[in-house]
Structure 1
Amino acid sequence: MKILYIHQYFTTPKQSGGTRSYWISQELISRGYEVTMLSADRKGETGKSKAMMSVDGIDVIYLRVPYSQKMGVLQRLWSFLRFMVRSTWIALREKDVDLIIATSTPLTIGFPAWVAKKIKGTPFLFEVRDLWPEVPIQMGALNNKWARKVAIWFEKTLYKNAVHIVALSPGMYDGVLRHNIPTEKVSMIPNMSKIDIFFRRPKDKELIKRLNLKEDSFKVVYFGAMGLANGMDYIIDALLHLKDREDMEFLFMGGGATEGVLKDKCRDLGIENAFFLGGFPLKELSEIVNLCDVSLVTFANIPILATNSPNKLFDSLSAGKPVIVNSPGWTKEMVEKHDCGFFVNPEDPMDLARKIVYLKENPDISERMGRNSRTLAETTYDKSILCKEFADQVDGIFSNLK
């Protein structure tokens, strides 16, 4: 059976970024499926308009469509539309496809799957990583009344035409059901921990030196996207209360539209214990996270963002770190129920500063929370568990199609 997997931001462990589609593809291949990934060559690394290569058993088709988190709204929209058009053409021309998996965002990723169903009768599974268009609507990026109506209509159309829908959080699951979609058609499979990649081990002292960090400091890490949705001004406002703590260091890894602004803000406020390190492949990222004592997962205080299923949360659990979250949704319930971190008031940066100091001054509590994080990752959220759940859904689809 051949699966065409459409993911505009497909990433492997050798690159920086989320790798969910890579691990799911590996599980599908282990079950005998042939997987062709259709993705964007965002940085023009292949040097071609269209390039095909094999990546760890996955046949990847890269379309040269530039994209960066530092792009403005119109630039991003143009990138989404270009990939939508080109991937639709590929989806229609690809032979012997038995199932399409389309994973958002953006919502336009579902267009080629929908067209292929209408023209060729190919069923598709739609994966909801964010509730578009509600996210850009609440963030003020989709203000045109008619554009909103079209986007909402298209969202409903994708849900109704998909053979199955996978949502990445309870909030996303509920968001799909609100469109009168039958419960048996929707599964909730969150983002994944990678317990074989992020785990506790002795800290690499040579790495500490290379990064120009202090060996004995209390290190707080944020890793992942630095976009408007991540609300990282909140972190910097908290750091203002901790900038004189020579025993604390704050590490930021990743990139995005607000990275430059955040750096400038730290400079202007005289925050010298914050370090922006850039992006790293998974293995190096894991080594740096292992140096740290606490992980931060923040979002802007916008209701729809409380439905997020952030990669950095699950990797932090796997790494055995206490996690501080500021979204009043399921992540708050998670860290409080399992005693693996704290929820902080998203409107009160001082609350974040106090919690960081508390964990610094209470190493026994920090250690307990870290152990609980690791246990949760191992028993509930590891990719070995969740990739099987996803592949089981695919098996079920083919069983029902026979």
Structure 2
Amino acid sequence: MHILFLTDNFPPEGNAPATRTYEHAIRWVEAGHKVTVITCAPNFPEGQVFDGYKNLWYQTHDLDGINVVRVKTYITANEGFVKRILDYMSFMVAGFFAGLFQKKPDVIVATSPQFFCACAGWALSAVRRKSFVFELRDIWPASITAVGAMKDSFAIRMLEKIELFLYCRADSIVSVTHAFKKELIERGIDGDKIEVVLNGVDLTKYEPALEKDIHFAKQYGLEGKFVAGYIGTHGMAHGLEHVVDVAERLQDHDDIRVVFAGGGAARQKVVDLVMKKRLKNVVLIDRQPKEMMPKLWSLCDVSLVPLVNSELFRAVIPSKIFECMGMGIPTIMSVPEGEATAIIRKTDSGLVVESEDVEQITDAILKLYKDKSLYQRIRVNSIAAAPKYSRDIMASDMTTIIKKHVN
């Protein structure tokens, strides 16, 4: 089976869409399938092409058996609605034309979070007369208005019409949460063609660390410290200003450090707030290569997983919780009650507090810092839960779905 997969995020980018696609694709290749990924020059989230790459019209290379095709796009940082739309639309056009030159695909798969990528996938499936599988990672454009990046408008309503068109035209929709599936059914989409494949963790890479990475711990002064870490994309949806407020409340605890590691649209806001408040207990680490993530995670005693208090985010499952399970790191989850909080409670792999509640987040950190038996119990539960969310299982489930639509 030849799977033609369109995504505008792919390694060496290290965000959730890039990681999911890569970790699925290498397993499909190992299972004997041919995989071609059409993507762009790596640039997320800063909007700067990574070292060693160029933004060229058409270039190919092999990555662990995956045939990677990179196309030229309009590149911008992960901020600003108009520029991001231009970025997305340029990939839609370039990705579509690149897809026309790929030999004998059996099925076309395209992933969100933005659906212009899916537009290219649908158009290719129509031209090449192959089935179209839409991997749904986010309810977009609703997430734009949820974080206040844009108010409801004619443009948003037009995007919603395109969104519904794609749902209807897809031969199959693979949702990353059960809540997304439920929402689509409520909006009139046939539930029989919606399958759920959660995110997961590559247990060959993420395993419990016996100690903090020596190099990173020494470099950032974290030796012997209890570390509460926010690791990942710094986006508007995460409400990281509240985590800075948490750090301010923890200033008198010299053994505790709050770490922010990553980049994104809200990164500078975090940096500015830390400087303004003159916080000495905050460590800022720039975005690291994906292969360094297990070492970066090893610095953390607890993982902070926040989202702003919006109804939309009840349906979101932050993928980092599965990596935390693999590493045996307890999660402090401050997101609206929903599927993600249910997973943490069911697995007893962390503490759940109110979204945007600075006092509760602070208390949760102190609770795990002081109560060693509670901390150890949650750590053990995290490790035990990880195999249930193995990327091996998720990749296999998605293969089964895709095979149903091979012409």
TM-score, structure 2 normalization: 0.92
Q: What CA deviation, in whole Å up to 9, does each residue of 1:327-373 have, x standing for no partner?
A: 12111111122211111112420110011001000011111111111
Partner of 1:371: 380
SS of structure 1 residue aligned to 2:348: coil
Structure-2 residue corresponding to 1:330 = 339
Aligned AA for 1:35? Answer: V
Give the Cα separation in 2 of the matches to 1:356 and 1:148. Answer: 39
In the alignment, which residue of structure 2 is the partner of 1:341? 350
Name 1:17's counterpart in structure 2: 15
The answer (yes or no) to whether the contact 2:4–2:109 under 8 Å persists in 1 is yes
Letter in structure 2 aligned against 1:197 = K
SS in 2 for 1:53: strand
Q: Distance in 2 between matches of 1:183 and 1:167?
A: 11
- Take 2:65 and 2:249, find their aligned partners in 1: how far apart are those partners? 50
Letter paired with 1:225: T
8 Å CA contact 1:234, 1:346 repeated in 2: no
1:78 Cα deviation after fit: 1.1
2: CA distance, partners of 1:124 / 1:116 = 8
**Mapping 1:199-278, distance limit 5 Å:** 199-204=207-212, 206-278=214-286
Cα distance in structure 1, aligned partners of 2:356 and 2:25: 40
Instruction: Specify the alignment match of 1:5 in structure 2.
Output: 5
Among 59, 81, 86, which residue is 1:78 paired with? 86
Q: Which residue of 1 aligns with 2:191?
A: 183
1:134 aligns with 2:142: yes
**Contact 1:295–1:323 (CA under 8 A) maintained in structure 2:** yes
Matched, 1:52 2:60: yes
The Cα shift of 1:70 comes to 4.2
Task: Render the CA deviation track for 1:206-248: whole Å, top value 9, x for unaligned.
Answer: 3255423232111111111101011111111111110221110
Q: Which residue does the alignment assign to 2:129? A: 121
DSSP-derived class of the 1:140 partner: coil
Deviation of 1:293 (Å): 0.9
Could you tell me how far apart the structure 1 residues matched to 2:405 and 2:31 are?
14
Q: Which residue of 2 is the match for residue 32 of structure 1?
A: 32
- Distance in 1, Cα, partners of 2:370 & 2:392: 36
Instruction: Specify the SS of the correspondent of 1:397.
Output: coil
**What's the CA shift string for 1:230-277, capped at 9, x where partnerless?**
111111111111022111011111111111111111121121111111
Extract unaligned runs of 5+ from structure 1.
Answer: none
Equivalent residue, structure 1, for 2:298: 290
Per the TM alignment, residue 26 of structure 1 is displaced from its structure 2 partner at its CA by 1.5
C-alpha spacing 1:245/1:52, structure 2 compared with 1 (3 Å)? same
What residue is the counterpart of 2:171 in the other structure?
A: 163
Deviation at 1:108, TM superposition (A): 0.7
Q: CA deviation at 1:68?
A: 5.0
TM-superposed deviation, 1:300: 1.3
Q: CA deviation at 1:76?
A: 0.9
Distance in 2 between the 1:314 and 1:135 partners? 22
Asked whether 1:304 is paired with 2:312, we answer yes
Q: What is the DSSP-based 3-state SS (H/G/I as helix, E as strand, rest coil) of the residue aligned with 1:336? A: helix
**CA contact under 8 A between 1:4 and 1:100: conserved in structure 2?**
yes
CA separation in 1, counterparts of 2:398 and 2:73?
28
Write the distance in 2 (CA, Å) between the matches of 1:136 and 1:205.
37
| SS of residue matched to 1:375 | helix
Residue type of the partner of 1:334? Answer: I
Q: How far is 1:39 from its partner?
A: 0.4
The one-letter amino acid of 2:15's match is G
Contact kept, 8 Å, 1:69 with 1:227, in 2: the verdict is no
CA 1:347–1:214 in 2, change beyond 3 Å: closer, same or farther? closer
Change (3 A) 1:49 1:210: farther
User: What is the Cα deviation at residue 118 of structure 1?
Assistant: 2.7
The answer (yes or no) to whether the contact 1:69–1:255 under 8 Å persists in 2 is no
Q: Return the offset for 1:309.
A: 2.5
CA distance in 1, matches of 2:159, 2:257: 43
C-alpha RMSD over aligned residues: 1.8
Task: State whether residues 167 and 188 of structure 1, in contact with CA within 8 Å, keep that contact through their aligned partners in structure 2.
Answer: yes
Distance in 2 of aligned mates of 1:228 and 1:79: 18
Alpha-carbon distance in 2 for matches of 1:216, 1:66: 45
Q: Distance in 2 between matches of 1:65 and 1:356?
A: 42
Aligned residues: 396
